[in-house]
Structure 1
Amino acid sequence: MTLLSPNVAMDDALSQVLDIAKQINAAGLSAAERANVAVSYVIENSGVTWPLSVQREILKAATAALAPGTPSANLKPVLEVVPATPAAVKAATPAKSPQPRPQRPEAPKSAAQIEALPKTTPLVREPSGDLMNTSNEVVKALSTTLDFSKLVSQPRVEQEQLIRDAIRTVSEERKMRLNGREVSDLVTAVLADMLGLGPLEALLADDTVTDIMVNGPHQVYVERSGKLVLTNIRFRDNAHVFAVASRIVAAVGRRIDESQPMVDARLKDGSRVNVAVPPLAIDGPTITIRKFPANPVKLEALVKGGSMTQQMADFLAMAAILRLNILVSGGTGSGKTTLMNAMSQFIPEGERLVTIEDAAELRFQQPHVVRFETRPPNVEGTGEITMRTLVRNALRMRPDRIIIGEIRGDEVLDLLQAMNTGHDGSMSTLHANTPREALTRVESMAALAGFAPGTGVVRRQLVDAVHLIIQVSRMRDGKRRITSISEIAGLAGDAITLQELFTFDADPSSTRAEVKGEFRYSGYRPKFARRAAEYGLGDALDALLGG
Structure 2
Amino acid sequence: SNGTHDEVDKSRLPEFVPSQLGNRWVSLAALVEQIESAFIEEYSHDSVELAEADTPSKRLKLVLETANYVISVESVQLSPTEKADIISRTYSSLFGYGPLDALFSDDTITTISLEDADKASVRHGQGDLVSIGPIFQNAEHYQRIISRLVADAGAELRPDQPYLELGLKIGDRLIAVNLVAPPITIQLNVDIRLHSKQLPTWDALIQSGFMTAEAAQLLKALIASDHGLLIIGEPESGKTTLLNLLMNELPNPEQVISVERAGETRLPTGMQRLIAKWPVGDMPAVSFGEQIIHALEQKSSCILLDEVRADEPQTIAPLLQMVDAPRQIWSFRGAIFAKRLQNALGMLARRAEVGGGEALIRPLYERLPFVIAVNRVGGQLRLWSIGEWQFKHNPDYPTYVSLMQVENGQLKRTGEPASRPLSLDNDFWSRD
What is the TM-score of this pair, normalised by structure 2? 0.81
Which secondary structure state, in structure 2, belongs to the residue aligned with residue 323 of structure 1? coil
Aligned match of 1:487 in 382, 388, 406? 388
Q: Any conservation in 2 of the 1:141–1:166 contact (CA below 8 Å)?
A: no
Task: Quote the offset at 1:435 in angstroms.
Answer: 3.5
RMSD, aligned CA: 3.0
Aligned match of 1:525 in 401, 417, 422? 417
Q: Which residue of 2 aligns with 1:142?
A: 35
Q: Where do residues 353-432 of structure 1 align in structure 2 (5 Å cutoff)?
A: 353-365=256-268, 367-377=269-279, 383-408=284-309, 409=312, 410-417=314-321, 421=324, 423-424=326-327, 426-432=328-334
Greater mean deviation of Cα atoms: 253-262 or 294-303: 253-262
Task: Quote the offset at 1:416 in angstroms.
Answer: 3.2
Q: Which residue of 2 aligns with 1:275?
A: 179
Q: Which residue of 2 aligns with 1:10?
A: none
Q: C-alpha deviations, 1:502-546, integer Å up to 9, x for none?
A: 11124xxxxxxxxxx111110111112xx33xxxx3xx4335435
Which secondary structure state, in structure 2, belongs to the residue aligned with residue 312 of structure 1? helix
Q: Which residue of 1 aligns with 2:104?
A: 204
Task: Quote the offset at 1:130 in angstroms.
Answer: 5.5
Q: C-alpha deviations, 1:460-487, integer Å up to 9, x for none?
A: 2133222211111112x21111111111
Distance 1:279 1:412, change over 3 A: closer
- Determine the C-alpha separation between the residues in 2 that align with 1:202 and 1:308: 32
Q: Where do residues 314-329 of structure 1 align in structure 2 (5 Å cutoff)?
A: 314-329=217-232
Task: Quote the offset at 1:313 in angstroms.
Answer: 0.9
Distance 1:183 1:505, change over 3 A: farther
Residue type at the aligned position of 1:407? V
Task: Quote the offset at 1:163 in angstroms.
Answer: 5.2
Task: Quote the offset at 1:129 in angstroms.
Answer: 6.6
- Determine the C-alpha separation between the residues in 2 that align with 1:143 and 1:351: 47
Residue type at the aligned position of 2:380? K
Q: C-alpha deviations, 1:172-213, integer Å up to 9, x for none?
A: 54x6x53x3343233222101112111111111122112211
Task: Quote the offset at 1:279 in angstroms.
Answer: 4.2
Task: Quote the offset at 1:423 in angstroms.
Answer: 2.4
Aligned match of 1:229 in 119, 127, 130? 130
Which runs of no fewer than 5 residues in structure 1 stay unpaired? Answer: 1-126, 507-516
Task: Quote the offset at 1:131 in angstroms.
Answer: 6.3
Greater mean deviation of Cα atoms: 207-216 or 159-168: 159-168
Q: C-alpha deviations, 1:88-123, integer Å up to 9, x for none?
A: xxxxxxxxxxxxxxxxxxxxxxxxxxxxxxxxxxxx
Which secondary structure state, in structure 2, belongs to the residue aligned with residue 405 of structure 1? strand
- Determine the C-alpha separation between the residues in 2 that align with 1:318 and 1:488: 17
Q: C-alpha deviations, 1:9-38, integer Å up to 9, x for none?
A: xxxxxxxxxxxxxxxxxxxxxxxxxxxxxx
- Determine the C-alpha separation between the residues in 2 that align with 1:129 and 1:207: 28
Instruction: Answer 1 or 2: higher relative contact order, Cα 8 Å, separation at least 6.
Output: 2
Q: Which residue of 2 aligns with 1:295?
A: 198
Aligned match of 1:500 in 395, 402, 418? 402
Q: Any conservation in 1 of the 2:276–2:291 contact (CA below 8 Å)?
A: yes
Distance 1:463 1:249, change over 3 A: closer
Which secondary structure state, in structure 2, belongs to the residue aligned with residue 503 of structure 1? strand
Q: Any conservation in 2 of the 1:192–1:199 contact (CA below 8 Å)?
A: yes
- Determine the C-alpha separation between the residues in 1 that align with 2:398 and 2:297: 31
Distance 1:423 1:245, change over 3 A: same
Task: Quote the offset at 1:355 in angstroms.
Answer: 0.7
The structure with the greater share of residues assigned to strand is: 2
Residue type at the aligned position of 1:446? A
- Determine the C-alpha separation between the residues in 1 that align with 2:83 and 2:229: 53
Distance 1:167 1:288, change over 3 A: farther
Task: Quote the offset at 1:281 in angstroms.
Answer: 3.2
Residue type at the aligned position of 1:479? Q
Q: Which residue of 1 aligns with 2:5?
A: none
Instruction: Confirm or deny that 1:465 pairs with 2:379.
Output: no
Which secondary structure state, in structure 1, belongs to the residue aligned with residue 196 of structure 2? coil
**How many residue pairs were aligned?**
393
- Determine the C-alpha separation between the residues in 1 that align with 2:68 and 2:13: 21
Distance 1:253 1:214, change over 3 A: same
Which secondary structure state, in structure 1, belongs to the residue aligned with residue 195 of structure 2? coil
Task: Quote the offset at 1:241 in angstroms.
Answer: 0.8
Distance 1:277 1:387, change over 3 A: closer
Task: Quote the offset at 1:278 in angstroms.
Answer: 3.7
Q: Where do residues 91-170 of structure 1 align in structure 2 (5 Å cutoff)?
A: 134-146=27-39, 147-149=42-44, 152-153=50-51, 154=53, 155-162=58-65, 164-165=67-68, 168-169=71-72
Instruction: Confirm or deny that 1:545 pairs with 2:420.
Output: no
Bigger radius of gyration: 1
Task: Quote the offset at 1:378 in angstroms.
Answer: 5.6
Distance 1:541 1:391, change over 3 A: farther
Q: C-alpha deviations, 1:368-420, integer Å up to 9, x for none?
A: 2111012345677x8343333322322232311111111232232322346x7
- Determine the C-alpha separation between the residues in 1 that align with 2:363 and 2:107: 42
Distance 1:390 1:263, change over 3 A: closer
Q: Which residue of 2 aligns with 1:239?
A: 140
Distance 1:239 1:487, change over 3 A: same
Q: Any conservation in 1 of the 2:36–2:94 contact (CA below 8 Å)?
A: no
- Determine the C-alpha separation between the residues in 1 that align with 2:325 and 2:160: 45
Q: Where do residues 10-29 of structure 1 align in structure 2 (5 Å cutoff)?
A: none
Distance 1:478 1:166, change over 3 A: farther
Q: C-alpha deviations, 1:46-105, integer Å up to 9, x for none?
A: xxxxxxxxxxxxxxxxxxxxxxxxxxxxxxxxxxxxxxxxxxxxxxxxxxxxxxxxxxxx
Greater mean deviation of Cα atoms: 316-325 or 368-377: 368-377
Instruction: Confirm or deny that 1:255 pairs with 2:156.
Output: yes
Task: Quote the offset at 1:432 in angstroms.
Answer: 1.6
- Determine the C-alpha separation between the residues in 2 that align with 1:160 and 1:503: 57
Which secondary structure state, in structure 2, belongs to the residue aligned with residue 346 of structure 1? coil
Q: Percent identity?
A: 22
- Determine the C-alpha separation between the residues in 2 that align with 1:484 and 1:242: 42
Task: Quote the offset at 1:246 in angstroms.
Answer: 1.7
Residue type at the aligned position of 2:33? K
Distance 1:276 1:196, change over 3 A: same
Which secondary structure state, in structure 2, belongs to the residue aligned with residue 287 of structure 1? strand
Q: Which residue of 2 aligns with 1:444?
A: 347
Distance 1:202 1:318, change over 3 A: same
Q: Any conservation in 1 of the 2:117–2:139 contact (CA below 8 Å)?
A: yes
